[in-house]
Amino acid sequence: MAEFKHKDIIALRDLSKEEIELLISTAENMREVNSRDIKKVPTLRGKTIINLFYEASTRTRTSFEIAGKRLSADTVNITPSSSSATKGETLADTALNLLAMKPDIIVMRHAVSGSHYFLSKKVSCSIINAGDGAHEHPSQGLLDMLTMKDRFGRLDGLKVAIVGDITHSRVARSDIQGLTKMGSSVYLAGPPTMMPPGAERLGNVTVCGSMKEAIQDADVVMMLRIQQERQGKTLMPNTREYSRYFGLNPQNIKLAKPGALVMHPGPINRGVEMSSFVVDGDQSHILKQVENGVAVRMAMLYHVCGGEMAE
Partner 1 sequence: MNLMIKGGRVIDPSQGIDDILDILVDGGRIKEIGKGLAAPSGAEIVDAAGMYVVPGLVDIHVHFRDPGQEYKEDIVSGTTSAVAGGFTTVCCMPNTNPVIDGKAVATYIISKARAEGLCNVFPIGTITQGMQGERMSEMGELKEAGCVAVSDDGKPVKNPELMRRALQYAAGIGIMVVSHSEELELVGEGVMNEGFTSTELGLKGIPRIAEEIAIAREALLSEYTGAPIHICHVSSKGSVRIIRDAKARGVKITCETAPHYFSLTDDAVRGYNTNAKMNPPLREADDVAAIKEGLKDGTIDCIATDHAPHHLDEKDVEFNEAMNGIVGLETALPLSLKLVDEGVLTLQQLVEKMSCKPSALLGLDCGTLKPGSPADITVIDPKKQWTVTEETLNSKSKNSPWLGEVMTGAPACTVVAGKVVFSGR
The yes or no reply on residue 201 touching partner 1 (CB under 8 A) is yes
| Kind plus residue range of the DSSP H or E element containing 140 | helix 138-152
Among 19, 65, 132, 175, binds partner 1 (CB under 8 A): 132
Q: Which stretch binds partner 1 (CB under 8 A): 190-198, 217-225, 257-265, 298-306?
A: 190-198
Figure out which of the listed residues 136, 144, 219, 273 binds partner 1, where binding follows CB under 8 A: 136
Say whether residue 113 binds partner 1 (CB under 8 A): yes
Rg (CA), the chain: 19
User: Is 179 one of the binding residues for partner 1 (CB under 8 A)?
Assistant: no
Among 47, 135, 149, 264, binds partner 1 (CB under 8 A): 135
- In angstroms, what is the minimal distance from the CB of 197 to partner 1? 5
Contact between 114 and partner 1 (CB under 8 A)? yes
Asked if 153 contacts 160 with a C-beta cutoff of 8 angstroms, the reply is no
Q: How far is the CB of 95 from partner 1 (least distance, A)?
A: 11
Contact flag: residue 134 with partner 1 (CB under 8 A):
yes
Least Å from the CB of residue 97 to partner 1 = 16
Nearer to partner 1 (CB atom), residue 114 or residue 281: 114
Backbone angle region of 197, left / alpha / beta, with phi > 0 → left and psi within -120 to 50 → alpha = beta
Residue 161's DSSP bridge partners are 187, 221
CA angle 162, 191, 158 (to 5 degrees): 20
Written as one letter, the residue type at 247 is G
Task: Assess 198 for contact with partner 1 (CB under 8 A).
Answer: yes
What's the length of the chain? 311
Q: What are phi and psi of 21, to 5 degrees?
A: -60, -40
| Alpha carbons 103 and 100: distance in angstroms, whole number | 8
Asked if 176 and 203 touch (Cβ cutoff 8 Å), the reply is: yes
Q: Name the minimum Å distance from CB 109 to partner 1.
A: 13
Count of residues near partner 1 by CB under 8 A: 25
DSSP 298: H
Among 88, 153, 192, 197, binds partner 1 (CB under 8 A): 197
Q: Compose the 77-96 pattern: x for residues touching partner 1 by CB under 8 A, - for all others.
A: -------------xxx----
132 Ramachandran zone, left/alpha/beta (phi>0; psi -120 to 50): beta
Which residues make up the interface to partner 1 (CB under 8 A)?
90-92, 110-115, 117-118, 132-136, 167, 170, 173, 196-199, 201-202
